[in-house]
Amino acid sequence: MFVLVNLKTYPCDPVAVAEAVRDVDETTDARLAVAPQAAHIERVAETGVETWAQHVDPIDHGSNTGHALAESAADAGAVGTLINHSERRLKLAAIDGAVRAAERADLETVVCANNPAQIGAAAALGPDAVAVEPPELIGTGTPVSQADPDVVEDAVEAAANVDPAVSVLCGAGISTGDDVVAAGDLGAEGVLLASGVAKADDPEAALEDLVEPL
């Protein structure tokens, strides 16, 4: 089970959270990673934790002021990137371009989508994984696996019908170990979460609770 912690732009200490993720990762068979803000990728990667970017743009080197270049994320220590998170939406052509940019930089990719139909379209672009995240559940503490389990099962089926090699992750409202287990029972191979760890008083304890049932 892959557990990817997105720090968004929360006012947390990215290095402290990264160290917590790294330490818990050493105690579990689950795969743990953290996605900090772009400016913090290098500092987070230096802790030894698996580090992801939150976004890359569909660009190459050149005149692209203010954009996120995949090679820069990789040079800073990222090994993967989220694409098309519901808080950083892209059009389909731009998603495709971002996946290609990430591939060029040897970054693993997770393309986010809101529903099973979008999951199928995203899987057709050939990312490493897709993540279904109904935006209305993000940050609520109510996991999609509980609020609408059919969404997860249908997303898994939609991706498999397009490309069985594309893994499916589950996001939105994930905050406990039971949520992670439920996501796995529905066919997901990993979870995305944010506030459950990034806003926790004790991120390490929150992570230990997440992986304990695995």
> Residue 121 is which amino acid?
A
Query: How many angstroms separate the CA atoms of 199 and 159, rounded?
Result: 31
Query: How many angstroms separate the CA atoms of 183 and 172, rounded?
Result: 11
Of 46, 85, 153, 212, the catalytic one is 85
Query: How many angstroms separate the CA atoms of 107 and 160, rounded?
Result: 22
Question: Which secondary structure element, helix H or strand E, spans residue 74, and what is its range?
Answer: helix 70-76
Query: How many angstroms separate the CA atoms of 128 and 126, rounded?
Result: 7
Residue numbering of the annotated binding site for substrate: 6-8, 138, 173, 194-195
Of 26, 42, 133, 204, the catalytic one is 133
Is 26 in the active site?
no
120 token code pair: 């199928």
Residue numbering of the annotated binding site: 6-8, 138, 173, 194-195
Is 55 in the active site?
no
Active site residues: 85, 133
